[in-house]
Amino acid sequence: MGDLFWNKVAGVLIGGVLIVIVIKELGHILIPSHAVTLDEEHVAYPVDWAAIGGEGGGEAVVEESGPVDYGLLLAAADLTNGERQFRRCAGCHTIEEGGASVQGPNLYDIVGNAVAARAGFSYSGALPAGEWSYENLNLFIENPRGYAPGTAMNFNGLGNEGHRIDLIAYLRAQSNNPQPLPAPLPAEAPAEDAAAEEAGEE
Q: Where are the domains of the chain?
A: 1-33, 67-185
Per the confidence metrics, is the pTM higher than 0.85? no
At the top level of CATH, the class of 67-185 is mainly alpha
Nearest to 89 by CA among 146, 176, 148, 170: 170
Q: What is the pLDDT of residues 52-110, one digit of tens each?
A: 554 444 444 444 567 889 999 999 999 999 999 999 999 999 999 999 988 999 999 99
pLDDT band at residue 196 using 50, 70 and 90 as cut-offs: low
> What is the model's pLDDT at position 54?
46
Contact 46, 159 (CB under 8 A): no
> What is the model's pLDDT at position 17?
81
Asked if residue 41 has pLDDT above 60, the reply is no
The C-alpha atoms of residue 40 and residue 80 are separated, in whole angstroms, by: 14
Mean pLDDT of 164-171: 96
The Cα-based distances of 117 to 86, 89, 123, 126, 127 in angstroms read 21, 19, 9, 13, 11
The C-alpha atoms of residue 181 and residue 172 are separated, in whole angstroms, by: 9
Asked if residue 15 has pLDDT above 80, the reply is yes
